[in-house]
């Protein structure tokens, strides 16, 4: 026992050894929350308060779940195989598999990932002859998922206008299509399992008796439905229900756009009458100056649960700030700084270049490429989302469930087998008439469409028969051959990489088989593990597999950086409208989420943090002129080391008449420092305008010109529009009128 609890700080020890009760653990960045959660589970088992089967632990990524199980296996001499440790979607899938009849699903139901769901929606719109310009598939997908995540079925959606009513009808048709095909999307997994628990008391009571301890990681990222799902297991927090142990950080809630509800933490504290709120504030990652900066930033947010990070590792270096004239200058400087860090002995893999928006990466990538610096964009196309893998999985899905129309449509003519668009249209029309799946409709067709489609059906039937009792890897291998996928990619000029990926799918199947917890009886059933493997593939889609062994600079958005840490972090593009993003100003809590995002970015750095911004930036084909981010102003000045003299013009104070003069270093240019153009104090501008004049803009209203630069078609003015803020406008485009 003492070994298990060794090296825990007092707050961690208090959290781990709490008696069975509801608890909220406010765990700051780098405070060892994963260790606390895992040790808590191990301590409950070792102290005899719970057995492995009586614990429900929920994480947000498959990677985190696997890491937790691996740590538990190392801590305790117990098998973790039967434990309910996984993601919300993974555990919901497990529940529905066990109670598929009660949930109204076929035994071998398949899971649609985001791309498959979009394809299914497009197919629905085409079948119903709905204009996809009036009802864009992606928007409809967002609408459907939003309703499901709110726990709302079509009949309960409030529709006050014809457009919404039509969307609700499409939502209803989509549900009918999924039910007919025996498929569920990600949002449906959670909603269907929640409804099963809510409406089926025997099932609900069974799991409430079974799980006496519920532990949740990253609780700040839960949406309303996920929280309601957890409450079903915990008997709504009633006396005698399971103990809820929730670990999270309200300061790192950055997924509001995905439906994450930071208010769940306060609701949990109130509804479960939580008496134990423990703050993990000691940080084991970053130096003191970085933590002081993070604390100063996040302090500007209201309604926080409250935390103040600290470390005993010393203050470390100041935070370096660089102001560039343009984005190209900023990128050049970043590359030169990276080169200098590498010369000093730092590995490239320990350097992260963060940005708020993906669009910012182009100029950075160009400079890194030009300098010959290896880099990796964190994210990218994932294994199970690659084209050739999706094709292979579609064939496997048809073997498991022939009524899966999305899988059918994907591979019916891939590789090409003479089935044209007209044949597919005839099939879809017939499927509508007979109210059957595409596969089941084929025998009803005559003529050429019936002949060519029947050949495809025979191919699937042959594959299903020939693979009935094969082990999973051999089954996959057989399908790759019979489907013609291997032959197709062998014939492709650049098909080598795709063939390697198909071979890797065999490895994925073999690994899954080795890890699967299947009994001898299950193994004797036809295609026993195929449905589980396909569910695994759908749930794993989105899990990034980083390249191994290469030393490369890491490029990523701030959102992608959450959960990661690096020795050096360079955060670029700190400009108003970019970070904080301009869209955040329009949302009531948008700016606070942007500030939490800034907090996440800062706390990724262990040793050294750089902040940079540019006076002008090319984005989406346009040059933008921005003020420096308000977040820079929120840092205590004593923590900052300016690598360039801070220009008043680009600070907030410039909006109220500050000087526009300032000089800027241009890396490797061999030129003298470049001055920013001064404002002509009384020079006439196009249209007879001048500094100090009152003007009117069609969108921003009335304002006063406070600075100007350039001439002719390049002339631009800085205008204070009062409530609308301070803007730099290109006069050739702005169409200002004298007020």
Active site residues: 33-34, 217-218, 252, 604
The b-or-e profile of 574-583 (16+ CB within 10 A means b, else e) is bbbbbbbbee
Quick count: other Cβ atoms within 10 Å of Cβ 285? 21
Separation CA 133–CA 493 (nearest Å): 36
State the residue for tokens 């959450």: 562
Reported in sequence order, the residue ranges of 698-739 that DSSP labels E, i.e. its strands, are 701-709, 716-720, 726-730, 737-738
Integer Cα distance of 215 and 68 in angstroms = 12
Helix residue ranges, H only, 516-583:
520-523, 530-540, 558-561
Nearest to 397, CA basis, from 574, 183, 250: 183
- 381 burial (CB, 10 Å; 0-12 / 13-18 / 19+) is exposed
Per-residue 3-state assignment (H helix, E strand, C coil) for 188-209: HHHHHHHHHHHHCHHHHHHHHH
φ/ψ of residue 243, rounded to 5: -85, 130
DSSP conformation letters of 422-443: HHHHHHHHHHHHHT--HHHHGG
CA separation for the pair 430, 712 (Å, rounded): 65
Query: Which tokens is 261 given?
Result: 């509800």
How far is residue 47's CA from residue 556's CA, in Å, rounded to a whole number?
A: 43
Nearest-angstrom CA–CA distance, 534 and 545? 18
Termini Cα distance of the chain: 78
Residues 6+ apart with CB under 8 A from 429: none
For residue 669, the tally of other CB atoms under 10 A from its CB is 11
Contacts of 72 (CB under 8 A, 6+ apart): 38, 41, 42, 78, 80, 83, 85
Q: Is 624 exposed, middle or buried (0-12, 13-18, 19+ CB in 10 A)?
A: middle
Kind plus residue range of the DSSP H or E element containing 160: none
For 99-135, b/e burial (b = at least 16 CB within 10 A) is: bbeebebbebbbbbbbebbbbbbbbbbebeebeeeeb
Measured CA to CA, the distance from residue 225 to residue 92 in angstroms comes to 12
Q: Which pair of structure tokens corresponds to residue 659?
A: 């000087």
Q: Check: CB of residue 311 under 8 Å from CB of residue 286.
A: yes
Rounded to an integer, what distance in angstroms lies between the CA atom of residue 309 and that of residue 173? 51
Q: Maximum CA pair distance of the chain?
A: 89
Query: In what order do the strands lie in the sheet containing 243-248?
Result: 84-87, 55-59, 213-216, 243-248, 23-27, 276-280
CB of 286 closer than 8 Å to CB of 639: no
**Whole-angstrom distance, CA of residue 696 vs CA of residue 689:** 11
Residues 682 and 684: their CA atoms lie apart, in Å, by 6
């Amino acid at each position: 026992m003492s070994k298990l609890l060794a090296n825990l700080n007092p707050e961690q020890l208090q959290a781990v050894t709490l008696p069975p009760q509801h608890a909220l653990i406010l765990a700051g960045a780098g405070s060892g929350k994963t260790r606390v959660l895992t040790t808590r589970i191990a301590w409950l088992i070792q102290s005899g308060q719970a057995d492995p089967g009586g614990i429900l632990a929920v994480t947000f990524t498959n990677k985190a779940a696997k890491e937790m199980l691996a740590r538990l296996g190392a801590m305790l001499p117990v098998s973790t195989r039967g434990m309910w440790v996984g993601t919300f979607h993974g555990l919901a899938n497990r529940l529905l598999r066990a109670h598929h009849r009660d949930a109204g699903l076929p035994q071998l139901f398949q899971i649609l990932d985001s791309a498959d769901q979009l394809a299914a929606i497009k197919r629905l719109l085409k079948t119903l002859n709905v204009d996809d310009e009036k009802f864009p598939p992606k928007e409809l997908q967002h609408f459907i998922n939003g309703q499901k995540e709110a726990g709302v079925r079509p009949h309960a959606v409030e529709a006050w206008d014809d457009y919404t009513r039509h969307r609700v009808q499409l939502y209803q048709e989509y549900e009918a299509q999924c039910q007919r095909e025996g498929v569920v999307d990600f949002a449906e997994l959670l909603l269907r399992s929640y409804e099963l628990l809510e409406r089926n008391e025997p099932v609900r009571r069974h799991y409430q008796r079974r799980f006496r301890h519920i532990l949740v990681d990253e609780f700040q990222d839960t949406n309303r439905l996920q929280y309601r799902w957890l409450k079903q297991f915990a008997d709504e927090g009633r006396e005698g229900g399971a103990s809820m142990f929730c670990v999270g950080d309200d300061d790192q809630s950055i997924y509001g756009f995905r439906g994450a509800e930071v208010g769940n933490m306060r609701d949990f504290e109130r509804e479960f009458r939580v008496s134990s709120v423990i703050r993990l504030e000691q940080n084991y990652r970053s130096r003191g100056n970085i933590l002081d900066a993070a604390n100063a930033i996040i302090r500007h947010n209201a309604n926080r649960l409250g935390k103040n990070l600290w470390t005993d590792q010393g203050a470390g270096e100041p935070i370096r700030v660089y102001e560039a004239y343009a984005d190209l200058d900023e990128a050049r400087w970043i590359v030169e700084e990276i080169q200098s860090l590498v010369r000093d002995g730092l590995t490239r893999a320990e350097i992260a270049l963060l940005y708020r928006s993906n669009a910012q990466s182009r100029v950075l990538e160009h400079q890194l490429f030009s300098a010959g610096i290896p880099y990796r964009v964190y994210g990218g196309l994932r294994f199970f989302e690659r084209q050739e893998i999706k094709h292979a999985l579609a064939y496997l899905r048809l073997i498991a469930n022939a009524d899966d129309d999305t899988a059918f449509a994907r591979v019916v003519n891939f590789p090409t087998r003479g089935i044209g668009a007209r044949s597919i249209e005839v099939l879809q029309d017939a499927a509508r008439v007979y109210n059957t799946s595409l596969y089941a409709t084929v025998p009803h067709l005559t003529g050429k469409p019936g002949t060519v489609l029947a050949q495809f059906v025979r191919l699937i039937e042959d594959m299903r028969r020939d693979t009935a009792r094969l082990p999973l890897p051999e089954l996959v291998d057989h399908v790759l051959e019979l489907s013609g996928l291997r032959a197709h990619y062998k014939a492709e000029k650049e098909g080598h990489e795709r063939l390697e990926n198909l071979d890797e799918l065999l490895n994925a199947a073999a690994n899954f088989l080795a890890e699967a917890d299947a009994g001898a009886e299950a193994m004797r059933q036809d295609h026993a593990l195929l449905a589980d493997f396909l569910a695994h593939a759908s749930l794993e889609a989105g899990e990034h597999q980083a390249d191994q062994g290469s030393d490369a600079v890491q490029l990523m958005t701030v959102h992608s950086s959450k959960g990661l840490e690096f020795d050096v972090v360079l955060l670029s593009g700190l400009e108003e409208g970019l970070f904080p993003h301009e869209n955040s100003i329009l949302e009531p809590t948008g700016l606070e989420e942007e500030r939490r995002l800034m907090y996440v970015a800062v706390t990724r750095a262990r040793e050294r943090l750089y902040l940079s911004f540019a006076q002008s930036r090319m984005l989406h084909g346009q040059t933008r002129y921005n003020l420096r981010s308000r977040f820079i102003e929120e840092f205590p000045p004593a923590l900052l080391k300016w690598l360039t003299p801070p220009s008043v013009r680009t600070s907030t104070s410039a909006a109220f008449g500050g000087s526009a003069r300032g000089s800027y270093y241009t890396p490797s240019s061999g030129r003298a420092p470049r001055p920013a153009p001064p404002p002509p104090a009384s020079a006439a501008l196009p249209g007879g305008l001048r500094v100090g004049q009152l003007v009117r803009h069609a969108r921003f209203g009335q304002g006063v010109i406070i600075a100007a630069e350039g001439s002719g078609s390049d002339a631009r003015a800085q205008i204070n529009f009062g409530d609308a803020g301070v803007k730099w406008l290109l006069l050739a485009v702005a169409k200002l009128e004298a007020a």
